[in-house]
Structure 1
């Protein structure tokens, strides 16, 4: 009995695990599920940054290490079930805009990421990021979660080839009789049945079964079990300090700051709302959560990768029941193992995780019920936020347009008491962003 109490106290102190309310097995399954839904970054990030001329093997190791460090900070300090890794979109901005379009070296881009990380640490210590989160009205916080749900589902459908690009209509239904869409639809059916039957670890089991089914279909390619990690030396601490005080560096750092800040805010708010973790509309230990991506970004720049951000795929683990830092700790352990077991993890095809992303999109819609749809001063800005996130393919733009519309509608309708000084300032700042 004494041993049980000691273990319970240890889990609570380390990860914020609440005995009686949380289950260790559930947290572990949630962590593995989150990892599997975001492990594609181990394959994608080296490919993207490789376009900028970086060594792909070194970037793989840097991606895994930065994910481990940032997620451990989230697990042990913030004690929240969110995972971090180099952000999609941010890595594309790094490679295709900063390097290829603007003509800068990847060393220049890494320097911008380092400066961004340091600035994030300063902004977090001064509570500015926390103040921005607290300024967002509750209806928009609930809308962010729903918008992210549609965004995640859209990503899942795209990854599976169920939804494809169309020049005339932007998107259209893909060839669903081809191999990848068929495998995704089979995985969606299997995982749905498991969820309806309340099978524990339904989404994780769904990923594994979909991967196995993909073997005879020729989609799942076995790549081995273990290999030594590639050296970091080609990208480690490779900075270009000569251009620190230039206009193009300032523009690059500002853009990275803006995108990462509001993507992270949106993910934390949205997933926390879905998990029922908001306390009086606020995220618990949000300062520590922000510090996780600030430290992760700074460390990531040192080892040689793009900006580290909180992953929206964390919603898959939360949907599985993850509620404490134990979930994110398991994710960190998986990334650590992936450094040595990369061939095995990379054998899981992206299409095998697509069904989980689609179903998580459904789970994320739950906060819509908390929005007063009959009060148009609340529901119109909320709807703008919800629809913009997937349509603009940007969490940050959804938040920005939702907040601007909230301020303008309530200002012109004589509901000024609902607006704080911080909301006015944010709306003005965001408007200038689009005008300049």
Structure 2
């Protein structure tokens, strides 16, 4: 166990195992949730359940061994919804091409992990805009969740309206949202997956959804989606803004998550054992996992904030992540159980994750007019246009325009200028 330097980190195998199991419980929801979301793109849900489990196992263990950090990884919430509802259903892009976009964004991320580019990007884009991106994605996935639940429906007069609350399926979704909020507020360990199963049990008992005839089986094949990505079709000037959106969002999501998790135990602090080096290696593992995920047939992989639960439990090294990955092997055999979970037991989790991301707006400086306008467009247009790319584009253009009008040229660095130009390009080349 000297690979993980347990003694130097003042931890033990038992403590790391306990922390790994805690992380596993808190993020196990990603298996049925991601599979349900991506299946809306026309991909087989059985293959997606297996692929999500496999990439979680691979990426989490890879990070544990490569970076020696207690950070678990899986398919990122937000970009998986954008993959399905923004690209495939919204832009009518085949899911194979969308996987090609994920692959290219991952390659860019991986290549730039070995340069100072990520530092340049972070210095170029104001912190408040990065917070707005997180909040905007939060509003987007919450809107998706509410729509898929049937709580928000199309209305000819007002564009959107309230769904039929007499519908048993919608009521199951409302009950699921109630469970998610209550369990989360009470800080119950594994609140999301507990809420999903509690809602499913009610749906099975009331006959709203069919009861599973079995709970375990051999792992499903991922052949229907394995290596089905279409990289050639993704090589398009019109799709460049989308590729950049996936890259930037993954980078900010990862750095934000790692900052939050790291602060719990000063894992990435410059005075910690190999602190800066661990951050760099974790980002490298993240990027490599995104590339691997696109090959397996899932969208962007990223670090999970739920890793903080394992850190709180005492996890300090990569052994925690290795244990988490090994525990996820169990999910490979839970296909019948996951398949029987009704969609409206899943989407409330999407809404709650969106709420947590939206909370980033509380840290924004609203005294700056350029920030206010950019944040507004990012947060409001992501859900209303069903496009993270469009929200980002309007935000960057608005920020650039206000700075230009006010002659605040000191804020207009090369990074902002390039991103504003690409954003403008996204509306010209369509």
Change (3 A) 1:128 1:234: same
Alignment partner, residue 365 of structure 2: 372
What is the CA–CA distance in structure 2 between the aligned matches of 1:361 and 1:235, rounded to whole Å? 27
Change (3 A) 1:408 1:333: farther
Following superposition, the deviation at residue 409 of structure 1 comes to: 0.8
Which digits, 9 at most, give the CA deviation of each residue in 1:391-431, with x for residues without a partner?
22333432332222112211221222223222222222322
Alignment partner, residue 348 of structure 1: 341
Change (3 A) 1:302 1:424: closer
Task: Determine which of 410, 416, 420 is the counterpart of 2:403.
Answer: 410
Change (3 A) 1:71 1:433: farther
What is the CA–CA distance in structure 2 between the aligned matches of 1:138 and 1:361, rounded to whole Å? 19
Alignment of 1:144-293 (within 5 A): 144-220=133-209, 221-232=211-222, 249-251=235-237, 254=240, 257-268=243-254, 287-293=280-286
Following superposition, the deviation at residue 137 of structure 1 comes to: 0.2
What is the CA–CA distance in structure 2 between the aligned matches of 1:37 and 1:58, rounded to whole Å? 15
Following superposition, the deviation at residue 139 of structure 1 comes to: 1.3
Task: Find the residue that maps to 2:41 and give its secondary structure.
Answer: helix
Q: TM-score, normalised by structure 1?
A: 0.73
Q: Structure 1: state its 5+ residue gaps.
A: none
What is the CA–CA distance in structure 1 between the aligned matches of 2:71 and 2:99, rounded to whole Å? 28
What is the CA–CA distance in structure 1 between the aligned matches of 2:190 and 2:48, rounded to whole Å? 32
What is the CA–CA distance in structure 1 between the aligned matches of 2:169 and 2:100, rounded to whole Å? 39
What is the CA–CA distance in structure 1 between the aligned matches of 2:342 and 2:7, rounded to whole Å? 37
Determine if contact 2:217/2:335 at 8 Å carries over to the other structure.
yes
What is the CA–CA distance in structure 2 between the aligned matches of 1:56 and 1:191, rounded to whole Å? 23
Determine if contact 2:75/2:300 at 8 Å carries over to the other structure.
yes
Following superposition, the deviation at residue 118 of structure 1 comes to: 3.9
What is the CA–CA distance in structure 2 between the aligned matches of 1:327 and 1:136, rounded to whole Å? 33
Alignment partner, residue 430 of structure 1: 423
What is the CA–CA distance in structure 1 between the aligned matches of 2:417 and 2:344, rounded to whole Å? 43
Alignment partner, residue 48 of structure 1: 41
Which digits, 9 at most, give the CA deviation of each residue in 1:118-177, with x for residues without a partner?
444223323434532432101112222322332232233223221123455443211122
Task: Find the residue that maps to 1:364 and give its secondary structure.
Answer: helix
CA RMSD of aligned residues (A): 4.4
User: Which deviates more, 230-239 or 346-355?
Assistant: 230-239
What is the CA–CA distance in structure 1 between the aligned matches of 2:177 and 2:37, rounded to whole Å? 23
Determine if contact 2:106/2:291 at 8 Å carries over to the other structure.
yes
Following superposition, the deviation at residue 42 of structure 1 comes to: 2.9
What is the CA–CA distance in structure 1 between the aligned matches of 2:351 and 2:202, rounded to whole Å? 19
Change (3 A) 1:255 1:35: farther
Determine if contact 1:400/1:430 at 8 Å carries over to the other structure.
yes
Which digits, 9 at most, give the CA deviation of each residue in 1:171-220, with x for residues without a partner?
32111221222122223334434444554544443333222222212244
Alignment partner, residue 54 of structure 2: 65
What is the CA–CA distance in structure 1 between the aligned matches of 2:290 and 2:48, rounded to whole Å? 14
Which digits, 9 at most, give the CA deviation of each residue in 1:326-359, with x for residues without a partner?
8866764465322222112233323223333333
Change (3 A) 1:39 1:137: same
Task: Find the residue that maps to 1:165 and give its secondary structure.
Answer: strand
Alignment partner, residue 300 of structure 2: 308
Determine if contact 2:242/2:389 at 8 Å carries over to the other structure.
no
Alignment partner, residue 358 of structure 1: 351
Change (3 A) 1:404 1:61: same
